[in-house]
Amino acid sequence: MSRNLPVNADRIAEDIDALARITEPDHPWTRRAFSPLFLEGRAYIEARMKAAGLETRIDAAGNLIGKRAGAKPGSGTIMVGSHSDTVPDGGRFDGIAGVISALEVARALQDQDIQLDHDLEIVEFLAEEVSIFGVSCIGSRGMTGQFPEAWLSRVTDGRDLATAIAEVGGRPGVLLQQNRPDIKGFLELHIEQGPVLENERKDIGIVTAIAGITRIEITVEGRADHAGTTPMDSRSDALIAASQLVLDIRNAAVERAKRPGHFAATVGEFRIEPNAANVVPSKAVLLIDGRAEIRNDMEAFCEWLDSHVIKLAITYGVSIKSPVRVSDNFPTPGDAELLSTLERACDTVGAKHRRMASGAGHDTAWIAKVAPAAMIFVPCKEGRSHSADEWAENDDIALGAAVLFEAVREMDRQI
């Protein structure tokens, strides 16, 4: 890289490579939250935080925090970070690039003897990915007073989540009372997990919004019959109707995605009954994962779905229950002032940038509910993520870290 950056690219590469080596040998790159390997990786990060002169602690929600005190106590906190846990078999850069880039911001400030007025906290959030307890963003929800109390009693392999949080150093007894009114601004770097930046040869994506995620369950009921003797035109086949519905959902999502604003809909879960080769399927249940940057797009999609299943039921001679919204999270826009700050930081370091939405969820979405927050994306090869093939060039990550560095300095002056 020919740019003269304020961060050290070699240090970033060293840390990401070191964390990559902490993995299940037969399942690269696997370091799931609450596992011994996760704790080993976290110990490495904490040691690097301390080497950078940061004061480390684990908060009540189990987040690892490295603090660099500001020159003006009581001015509030600028926070930068991401997560180090992974999905199974894929996560060499997802989250990790953001944690190490945040750490590099603190190191670069130390190298250049730059004193911020505000406290700076580098955070490695607990369990951003869906954990073994079936829930995600545990640390960011817990830090900001958005942790559901019922989650503490979720049990996996004989231990509950409260015990697991305590085992990583958290304090479940006071977790529900935790809040952070001192946060004045939060930034997160992440690999894009999509192909847009690579295809357009852009260095940085400035995230306008994290898409809302709506999950919708639909049940189709037909009639079980003998597969060999029931005439084809006399069947009430739940699977045939459900299959048509899957195709229609895909086509509707493709058309909606052509409009401004990110939109996607996927049938990711599908099961049928009685699931026997010689029986006409009597029931099919499917789960739709819908994601929308613009809330009205999701509402319009749901309205279309409600009316469309009625037509399908008539056409195929089945019964389709009204779609049920199993979960429904609204989009989270990035803070307008921070988006502008990030654009100026890109210009300062010479990074080509564009605005774009995130179709994936991130810890930023939870911090944004209590403080100004924004994200940047860096390119990843072929848009691959949650895969052993996930890859991001270190020069791209370093450039992103430089953007964070410049943005943090401006935030310190402006907020």
Q: Is pLDDT of 1 > 60?
A: no
Strand 373-378 versus strand 183-191 pairing type: parallel
Region 171-179: mean pLDDT is: 96
Region 189-210: mean pLDDT is: 98
Residue 243, C-beta contacts closer than 8 angstroms, at least 6 positions apart: none
Residue 353's pLDDT band (cuts 50, 70, 90): very high
Residue 368: DSSP 8-state: T
| Whole-number pLDDT of residue 282 | 98
Q: Is pLDDT of 151 > 70?
A: yes
Average pLDDT value for the chain: 97
| Whole-number pLDDT of residue 91 | 83
Dihedral of the alpha carbons of 246, 251, 253, 257, in degrees to the nearest 10 = 160
Region 205-233: mean pLDDT is: 98
Q: Could you tell me how many residues make up the chain? A: 415
Share of the chain above pLDDT 90, in %: 99
Q: State how far the Cα of 53 lies from the Cα of 98, in Å rounded to an integer.
A: 19
Q: State how far the Cα of 384 lies from the Cα of 334, in Å rounded to an integer.
A: 24
Residue 202: how many other CB atoms lie within 10 Å: 20
User: Cα-flanking dihedrals φ and ψ of residue 83, to 5°?
Assistant: -130, 160
Q: Is pLDDT of 172 > 80?
A: yes
pLDDT in tens, 41-54: 999 999 999 999 99
Residue 123's pLDDT band (cuts 50, 70, 90): very high
Q: Is pLDDT of 161 > 60?
A: yes
For every residue of 211-273, DSSP letters joined together read PEEEEEEEEEE----BTTTS-GGG---HHHHHHHHHHHHHHHHHHHHTSSS-EEEEEEEEEEE
Residue 279: how many other CB atoms lie within 10 Å: 16
In single-letter form, the type of residue at position 152 comes to L
pLDDT in tens, 244-300: 999 999 999 999 999 999 999 999 999 999 999 999 999 999 999 999 999 999 999
For every residue of 33-83, DSSP letters joined together read TTSHHHHHHHHHHHHHHHHTTPEEEE-TT--EEEEE--SSTTS-EEEEEEE
Q: Is pLDDT of 301 > 70?
A: yes
By CB neighbour count within 10 A (0-12 exposed, 13-18 middle, 19+ buried), where does 378 fall? Answer: buried
Tokens 């995230």 belong to 207
pLDDT in tens, 373-384: 999 999 999 999
Tokens 């990401």 belong to 16
| Whole-number pLDDT of residue 60 | 98
Q: State how far the Cα of 376 lies from the Cα of 391, in Å rounded to an integer.
A: 17
User: Burial code of 81-99, b = ≥16 C-beta within 10 A, e = fewer?
Assistant: bbbbbbbebbbbbbbbbbb
Dihedral of the alpha carbons of 161, 129, 20, 384, in degrees to the nearest 10 = 160
Region 28-50: mean pLDDT is: 97
Spell out the domains of the chain, with CATH numbers in brackets: 9-210+331-414 (3.40.630.10), 212-328 (3.30.70.360)
pLDDT in tens, 77-97: 999 999 999 999 988 999 999
Q: Is pLDDT of 178 > 80?
A: yes
Region 343-360: mean pLDDT is: 98
Going from the C-alpha of 202 to that of each of 99, 194, 254, 273, the distances in angstroms are: 22, 13, 24, 48
| Whole-number pLDDT of residue 382 | 97
Q: Is pLDDT of 2 > 60?
A: no
What's the pTM?
Answer: 0.94
- Check if the beta carbon of residue 99 is closer than 8 Å to that of residue 83: yes
What is the chain's alpha carbon radius of gyration, rounded to the nearest angstrom?
24
Tokens 């939060």 belong to 186
And the tokens for 282?
Answer: 């009597």
And the tokens for 43?
Answer: 């110990």
Q: Which residues pair with 355 in a beta bridge?
A: 206
Region 356-385: mean pLDDT is: 97
